[in-house]
Amino acid sequence: MNRSIDRWTRRYVAASAVGFACWRIGVLLGADHGVEVAAALLGFVLPVVFGKAYLLIPSFAGRTLASASVPAVHLPLAAGGAIALVGARAGLTPRVVGVAGSAAWTLGVVLFLGGLLWTVGPELTRFERWGSGEDRWSARFALPFVGVALTYLLVGTAGLLAATTDGAVGTDPRTTHLFAAGTAGLLIVALGTRLLPGFCSADPPTAVVAVTLPAAAVGPGMLAVHLWGGADFRLAAAAQAVGLLGWAVIVGTLFVRTSRSFVGFYGIGAGAAFGAVGAGLGVGMATRAGPLAALRTAHVDAMLAGFLSLTVVGFVLLFYPHTDGKFPGSDAAAAAVVAALAAGVALQVLGPLLGGDPVTGVLSGMGDGLAALGATGFAAVVAVRLF
């Protein structure tokens, strides 16, 4: 069963890499903001979450996924739903296709959560055994927050389905925060806090972990409820910022305490740095510390193209390292991918902040080009490493 689940996990990662390239090429060709966000989250970030969750979460309870048919059925539902939703949002297909895509996506999420619950359900009443073999406090502390992240996935999916059936196609800002910050962002912090110390053979600061995970857990929910809501919105942005800044400190601490021999560490480190930048921009939006349109554009780029994308790329490279003799240039190609993506998002963030249409256009265009090149390169690296 383990080998079968691993094969399906690889297929999810491969589908995600294709989605990444399609997203970045679409942006380069002029896709609008709504299409960009839907493609990024539904086509790239969340498929990786699904694939790795099928493998990792049951292992926390000392089990393997109960049925390999669950990921086998879920993958076409997730991929088909994402394609339908993005196509309808872009105006390429009738709205009814978007409704069908939303229904397929929702069914896939129900199967995903049901499959995990079916597998680990018998262990839920014996939660104290989860992670009992871990010798790191941070690994044990992080486990409950995985459940919070999956709850955000369920709530966000319900919001997506409701919005689509009511006439809107795609994700609204509240649903976006539930998916991006609540599901993907919190899982990055929770699973990263559990897994990275093992890769690094080092421990993160205990006090920072104790503050970071609760903040990363409550921030997305507060944002979804209080988005653009005055003092409550500022408090929500502050909570989310604490979570992201804490994650940057955790990654930075582990980064300097390890040999840094894996290319994936650099992707994760760059992603954490952009997460901190995005947190600052989010607080700036909440406090109206600058032109709102520029801050919003830079924030979205820092979080989607920076924090989420580079972190996902880094973890994929870390989980699937170069095999000696298989492709001699794999590590160099992976390093070039990380460099192109990091440089691209830096230009994308700087463009709107520097102001002026010519400057914004030139820098953003260069950033989009580098990001598309990096995403396409990542798909090629993944194809080589996985297959």
Read off the tokens for 261. 């021999």
pLDDT at residue 66, as a whole number:
86
Q: Does residue 325 have a pLDDT over 50?
A: no
DSSP assignment of 211-241 equals HHHHHHHHHHHHHHHHTT-THHHHHHHHHHH
Phi, psi of 231 (to 5 degrees): -60, -40
Measured from the Cβ of residue 384, the count of other Cβ atoms closer than 10 Å reads 17
pLDDT band, very low/low/confident/very high, at 46 (cuts 50, 70, 90): very high
Through-space distance between the first and last CA atoms of the chain, rounded to whole angstroms: 19
pLDDT at residue 166, as a whole number:
65
pLDDT at residue 198, as a whole number:
84
Q: Does residue 323 have a pLDDT over 70?
A: no
Model pLDDT for residues 23-40, shown as the tens digit of each residue:
999 999 999 888 999 999
Crossing angle, helix 330-354 and helix 263-286, to 10 degrees?
10
Q: Identify the DSSP state of 66.
A: S
pLDDT at residue 170, as a whole number:
62
Mean pLDDT lowest for which of 103-107, 231-235, 290-294?
Answer: 290-294
Judge contact between 240 and 268, C-beta under 8 A. Answer: no
Q: Which of 50, 23, 92 is nearest to 301 (CA)?
A: 23
Helix ranges restricted to H, 64-136 = 69-89, 95-120
Q: Does residue 129 have a pLDDT over 60?
A: no
Model pLDDT for residues 357-383, shown as the tens digit of each residue:
777 788 889 999 999 999 999 999 999
Dihedral class, residue 356 (left if φ above 0, else alpha if ψ from -120 to 50, else beta): left
Model pLDDT for residues 67-97, shown as the tens digit of each residue:
889 999 999 999 999 999 999 988 898 889 9
- When pLDDT is averaged across residues 246-254 and rounded to a whole number, the result is 96
Long-range contacts of 132-137 (CB under 8 A, 24+ apart): 134/194, 136/197, 136/198, 136/203, 137/206, 137/209
Judge contact between 259 and 231, C-beta under 8 A. Answer: no
- When pLDDT is averaged across residues 224-240 and rounded to a whole number, the result is 92
Q: Does residue 269 have a pLDDT over 70?
A: yes
For residue 209, the one-letter residue type is V
Q: Does residue 128 have a pLDDT over 60?
A: no
